[in-house]
Structures are given as structure tokens and as C-alpha cells.
Structure 1
Amino acid sequence: MIAAIAETGRLVAIASGKGGVGKTWLSATLADGLARAGQRVLLVDWDFGLANLDVQLGLTPGCDMMQVLRRGQPISDAIINFVPRLDILAGSSGTGAMAGLDTETLDHLLAAVRTCAKDYDYVICDLAAGLDQGVRRMAATADLLLVVVTDEPTSLTDAYAVLKLHGRDGDAGRGEIIVNRAKSPPSGTRTYATLAHACTAFLGHTPPLAGVIRNDERVTDSIRRQTPLLTRHPNCPAAQDVEALVQRLLTCPHQPVQLARAFYA
């Protein structure tokens, strides 16, 4: 159980279920867009086995969450600045040391992230692929869960599983859908409708569409060059779509989740 913390920044968790749908890129680009809009942002790599946000951004962190956890240091010691108003909290990659953390340790990390959130307007958490306990606990305690999908059947199936479990663990009304790599806005809307129909029929609620990100070769270019899309190609279609998502977040009311709510795995 996690104690409630008042007046923190809005915690947005980004999940996918299936890997390879552009979730990490979207997390980084959304955080960058919010920072450019004047918000103070902390981008958290909530992956305890294959963290790679630092690689996408071309960073070499001095330490990560695993190292500060092992040393008994405050989690803030692992935060580094990336660009003005955007800080990064690196995850742990390749060691396996943080995989399968116990409930008490996970709750400690969640509370530590919430404490750090008091210094920011937004905390963007890039969740690991899959549905392990660490992913579910962060999703359940987030103020908003954004589930990233593509038009691939496996992506839609896994996203449905994420939303189904989120409804059990937390507040189903806090889950929204982002369609990535859409061929066009209408195509993205159709992909969303497929998933939304399944949620309505079998889960009893319809997650809203947060946004559609068009397929854009300049995204691949920016990833290869380890440069934010909004810096390298600020006017491309995908950048415009991310900017629209930023504006949606800025105009959406912030209703903090009740952190004292019990979580049952």
C-alpha cells in the first residue's frame, strides 16, 4: 500500500503489452513536447530489464535506478537533465537485477517517483512491454494510462489484455488509446474502433481515443540519429500528431489518483 502524496505532477504511464509498437519513442517525444510547451517534465524508464530510453536519446547516465536502490540512495540521485525543463530517470538494462522485484520494493520505488513528481508538472513513465507486476502496479497508480497500439492483430490483442487488467487493478476510466504508425488519420480511427468495440462488448467500458500518430519515415531517422523528432523534423506529420497529443494533455483536467487504494495482483 502506498501513502497518498498531495500536489504532485500528473503521472502519465505509457504501456503497450506488445513490444515494438513505438512506445518508448512516443514516451520520449511526448515528454519533449510537453517540455517545449513550458512544462517541467520527468521522463522515467520503468523497465527493470531492458531499459533503453537513454540509448534512444544518446545519453550515458552516471547511474540508474538499480544502482541507487542497491546503495540506499534517494532515487533523485539517478535523475539527469536532458534539455531545458526535461529530466530523465534511467532504468536498468542487461543485469536482470531489478526483474521480479518484491511488492515492498516496488511500492518503495512508486512512492519515490511520486515524491520526485512534486518538482514537476508531468511525470511520463515508459512502462516495459508485457504485463508483469511492476508494469501493472505503475499503471494502476498512474493518473492516466496511455496504451499504444498499431493495426497489427497481436498489438490489438495485447492492448486489450492491458486494458482488461487495468480495469481490475485500477480505474478503467483512466485508460486511453493511442494508435501509432497509422497509414492515415481515418485508418488510425478504424484501428481504434476495432479495439474500442471489443472493450465495450467484453469489458463494459469504452476507452477514449487520445490520438493517432501517422506513420512517418522521419521517426526512424530521428531514432537512428538519437535526436528528438521535434528537434530534427518539427514539421513532419508525426511531429504534428504528437504536438496535438501534447495540447490534449494540457487541456485535460488533472484528477490525481488515490494512491492509498489497495492493489491486488
Structure 2
Amino acid sequence: MVDHQQIRAWRPALAGIDEVFHARITDHVYPMHTHDSWTLLIVDDGMVRYDLDRHEHGALDQLVTLLPPHVPHNGRSVTPTGFRKRVVYLDSSQLEDSLIGLAVDSPVLEDPLLRQRIHQLHESLEHPGDELDTESRLALVSERLRDHLQRRVEDRTHVRDAGIAHRLRDLLDARFVEGISLQEASDTLHVHPAHLVRVFSREFGMGPHQYLTGRRVDLARKLLLSGMSPRLVAVSAGFYDQSHFNRHFKRSLGTSPGRYARSGPQSDLAPTQI
């Protein structure tokens, strides 16, 4: 059972916080439940084990736990001695409901400065009359929480964009000889052409056209060294014509295709006379 003498709960006269909850819990097990508010939790002693969105997590001291509203979770002590926690329940004026999904996957924040600021917020909440100080501390805490969630947006965007870039590279690899237009790639991958160029360039340090040309030049080198004439190589490697081939080959290697083909060691034996 919970010893109710170990629980303190109140609603402060401060916009943005629905409730403050301080407790030492020993053998009580919280069943699955939800809140309308964001649960901002710090543990001062012990460790809490909880399930959120069917995944198990842990809350312990030195870390910050942010549980989003409307998502079921439970809670129980990991050790026989229980745990001591402090919670503020933040309303949507501090964190918008649109951020809920970002908090579900990873509710634990390893941020010593944020942990310290939450501790200071709780201390300020204990002293009526310091409303300006409390309001200021709440603003700093909410700002840092939003920064964490915003970085997750950026991280997810980067991962998605990297995936798009690699899919475009695969498409270019499969079609580098016959070629593919940017619009065709856009239609195939269902991504705007400008975004394709942007994410590919950011991921690989070159544009799609430069990559495609590099693949063609690389093939041309192999064909030239195998003995194929430059004229046939131009067609076989996907270049528009001989002039197009010569220009890009020289830009890439600093020499013409013909000179490149003849640059290897020559046989000391004269050709057989017939």
C-alpha cells in the first residue's frame, strides 16, 4: 500500500502547471492509466520501471522522464526500498499535443542542466510569493524540453532524407548507362525533384548528375583498358557522343580517353611482320 503521509500534491497558482506531485512510493504498483497533461518526472532516490506504448522503460536519478498525455503507462519500484519522485504536470500551453509522438519512442532525457532546472523549479514551487521566479524557471524548462523534441524532428528528417538519397543512388546505379531524368526519378521515388537534389548532395557531397557521370567515366576506364576503341566506349558507357565523352573524361582524369588507353607499358617486341 501507499503511505499517504508520504504524498504531497497541490495545484499551484501558476499558468502552465496543472499539478505538482511529490511522493515516496514503496510497494504500490501503478496500473495502466493516462493523463491529460504532460508528466515531467525526476527521481531523487531509487528507480521506477514503467511501460509506455507497450515498451518498457526505466526512470532513475540524474535523468529526466517526460511522459506524453493520452498515452497509457504504469509504474512500479525496481527495488524493495521504493523510490522518491517529484512530478509537475504541464498543460498544452507548455508543450503542444502535436509533440506527443516524438516523446513516445524515447521518454528519457539525459540532460544534467535540464535536471537541475527542474529541481530548481520544484524548489521555487514550494515558496508562494516567488511567482515571477517560478514562472521564469518554468519557461526555461519548457523551452529546453521543446528543444529536445525539436532535435528529434531534425534527427528523424535526416534519417528519412538519407534513405531517400540512398534510394536515388540505387536508381542511378541501375540506370547509369541508359540514364534517367530527374523528373523520372522524382516520379519513381515520389519525391520532389529539388528535394532529391538537395538530400542527395547533402548525403554524398555531390549532385546526382556528377555521380552519374562519375559512374560512366569509371566504366569507360575499364572498357578503354580492355582494348575497346574510344568511339565505342563513348556509346557503351552512356555518353551522348564522342565530344561529350572526351569532355567529361578529361575533366575527371586530366587526360583524353585515347592517351589514357595508351598510357600503360608497351611491349618491347616489334609487331610480327606478315
Q: TM-score range by the shorter chain?
A: under 0.3
TM-score where L is the length of structure 2: 0.26
TM-score, normalised on structure 1? 0.27
Asked which structure has the greater RCO (Cα within 8 Å, sep 6+), the reply is 1
Computing the radius of gyration from Cα coordinates, the structure with the larger value is 2
